[in-house]
Amino acid sequence: MQISNILTPERMLCHVEVTSKKRVFEYFSKLLAQEENIKLSSHNIFDNLLVRERLGSTAIGYGVAIPHARVAKCDVTLAAFLQLEKGIDFGAIDKQPVDLLFTLIVPEKSTEEHLEILAQLASMFRKDEFRSKLRNIKDCQEKFKLLTQWNHD
């Protein structure tokens, strides 16, 4: 699955000021709940992201986290992106504050698709050059292009 199939410019926020994981999840929940293709409340999305995060941090290092959840009553895979003004503690294994967050919600039964997208995102965000470009581009539309046009070699 391509990132361009699951992420829209409307579900991207750049230079956001938050100080906690919970606040990040609130932003993501509101962005995803606005999608007309789903019948989930922001509260339901928030709870699912929080439950998953309690199992272990979704921070992958390098200042990046990929909060995700498989959600009952969800028919489509959706993503959202936040770039924080200042990194926050996300329990990363490398102890780095997180400022780039890409969230994903998938239908409960979409295990394989879920894992494929997570692997693609991890590969993308593991690249120093990619993270550097993403952080240094000022315009959120340009960040969207970078995220959706990335090609994993």
Instruction: Summarize pLDDT for 45-97 with one digit per residue, the tens.
Output: 999 999 999 999 999 999 999 999 988 888 888 999 999 999 999 999 999 99
Architecture in CATH of 3-149: 3-Layer(aba) Sandwich (3.40)
Q: Which amino acid is at 123?
A: S
- Residues of the chain above pLDDT 70, percent: 96
> 104: which 2 tokens?
């994903």
Question: 13-30 burial by CB neighbour count: b if 16+ within 10 A, else e?
Answer: bbeeebeebeebbbbbbe
Q: Is 153 exposed, middle or buried (0-12, 13-18, 19+ CB in 10 A)?
A: exposed
Cα 132–Cα 135–Cα 141 angle in degrees, nearest 5: 120
Residues labelled catalytic: 68
Q: Which amino acid is at 31?
A: L
